[in-house]
Amino acid sequence: MKGQSNVPLQNSGGVGKEPGSSPAQVVNRPKPPGRTKHLLTLVIILLLLWASAKQTDASFTELFQGFPEMWKLLKEMFPPRWSYFDNIVQGMLETIRMALIGTTIGAIIAIPISIICAGNLMPSRWIYYPARFLLNLIRTVPDLLLAALFVAVFGLGPIPGILALAVFSIGLIAKLTYETLETIDQGPLEAMTAVGMNRIQLIVYGVVPQLAAQFTSYVLYAFEINIRAAAILGLVGAGGIGLYYEATLGFLEYDKTSVIILFTLVIVLVIDYVSTKLREKLL
């Protein structure tokens, strides 16, 4: 018949054949997973949970026994001592400054690193593979450990916190940026190469216009994370509001700690909201 395909449609064991369908309408469909597969998956997950709980000495009994102590702690935290609020304003401002400076330094350094890591801009794999390995190594080290190391080198104060946040920002922003670089439109780059532009001109006129909005979004995202991270870096002596956490918790003044927690929560929510709106405008 005219217009009908001469290629016979295969049917593996009649799977996918609906009642009343003609042979031309029979299609191949994957077999649904059997009950044995679901049960085996469930058993494996339960075994993993049991083994993890066994190795970490975690149990529901211990969790339930800790509930009364958690209730006592909450009773000591409320009502918050609002008179302590004036003491922590400067600490919170220092935390925001640390996050701002650390994110800015990290973003600037992340630009050349992301270009080196991008396979479509750096043709030699002997360069971008080692660069990616170093980037993974940077992201492996927690920011709290970085702050502790910088405190040992530079002493107490905000400088170790800024450096720790800068290193963390490099790892995060460079990773997201080079992955975006590898997905940009190659057409403009090929056209610029055909007219004789060098590599720097390709990056300035071909890459930057395509990447600017995403890169700014990544920087704002890193700033959000750094605000949260900077709030606890003071626990290792790296400045900021974390110093007040350490002092109030050390003296068991939980009503003051609750003021710090609520203040930090408000700041984080405001920055999250503003950052999200800015990123929505950019993307």
Q: Render pLDDT for 225-271 as a digit per residue (tens, 0 to 9).
A: 888 888 888 778 777 888 888 888 888 889 999 999 999 889 888 88
- How far apart (Å, rounded) are the C-alpha atoms in residues 175 and 194? 30
Q: Render pLDDT for 146-174 as a digit per residue (tens, 0 to 9).
A: 888 888 888 888 899 899 999 999 999 99
- DSSP code at position 184: S
Q: What is the pTM of this model?
A: 0.75
- DSSP code at position 7: S
Q: Render pLDDT for 2-13 as a digit per residue (tens, 0 to 9).
A: 444 444 444 444
Torsion of CA 250, 253, 259, 264, to 10 degrees: 10
- pLDDT > 70 fraction of the chain, expressed in percent and rounded: 89
* H helices present in 141-204, as ranges: 143-154, 158-181, 187-194, 199-202
Q: What is the pLDDT of residue 27?
A: 62
Tokens representing residue 123 in the block: 């043709």
Which of 189, 191, 172, 215 shows the shortest CA–CA distance to 123? 189
